[in-house]
Amino acid sequence: MKRSLCALLFTACSTAAVAAEAPITHADVDHWAVAWNSHDIEQVMQLFSPDVKIDQPENPKPLDYNGTRAFFSMIFRAYPDFHIVVKQAVVDGYSAVSIEQVTGTWSGPFVDPASGKVTPGNGRHFDHPGAMLIQYGPDHRITHVSIFWDQLTVDRQLGITPKV
């Protein structure tokens, strides 16, 4: 009986370890979308490794874990109806590309990460495509994200004078 129980525990632990090291799947990308659309910064932050780096056009340097929390908390306040729809996902090993349609309404204050300037919302809506190159670790937590979107298109939709 003890031998059976030990074998069962060993098998369960081995299976969990293998599952944690399995390549990512489309379910990981679905989890990404659900977290963002929840507007729950804690749920979003659970996606990321503590050493995450995020590159995106609005920030002058890559965001680290704490910068990610601060920036996207501000985004959820500035655009309370921020929403993504994954149009296509390509998954390979520990990498994914998520092609998304991103929408929202500028309803709250936006803090420019480069200057710290606060601009109140103006009620204008944005709707644009974006692409995310997402790198995962073996534990399925995100280690790096490169975000691509057309800032000029979004600035025009929001009535912002483009930066020169």
In this predicted model, what pLDDT tens digit does every residue of 16-69 receive, in sequence order?
444 457 899 999 999 999 999 999 999 999 999 999 999 988 788 999 999 999
- 18 lies in a domain? no
Reported as a pLDDT band with limits 50, 70 and 90, residue 14 is very low
Specify which residues 96 forms β-bridges with. 91, 134
How, if at all, do strands 142-149 and 48-55 pair?
parallel
| Number of compact structural domains in the chain | 1
- 8 lies in a domain? no
- 76 lies in a domain? yes
Q: Which residues constitute the domain of residue 32?
A: 23-158
Any idea what DSSP says for residue 116? Answer: -
- 13 lies in a domain? no
- 109 lies in a domain? yes
- 14 lies in a domain? no
Domain harbouring 132, CATH code: 3.10.450.50
- 2 lies in a domain? no
Tell me the one-letter amino acid at 63: L
**pLDDT value at position 5?**
37
Whole-number Å distance between alpha carbons of 105 and 1: 62
Note whether 113 and 58 are within 8 A (CB).
Answer: yes
- 30 lies in a domain? yes
Reported as a pLDDT band with limits 50, 70 and 90, residue 10 is very low
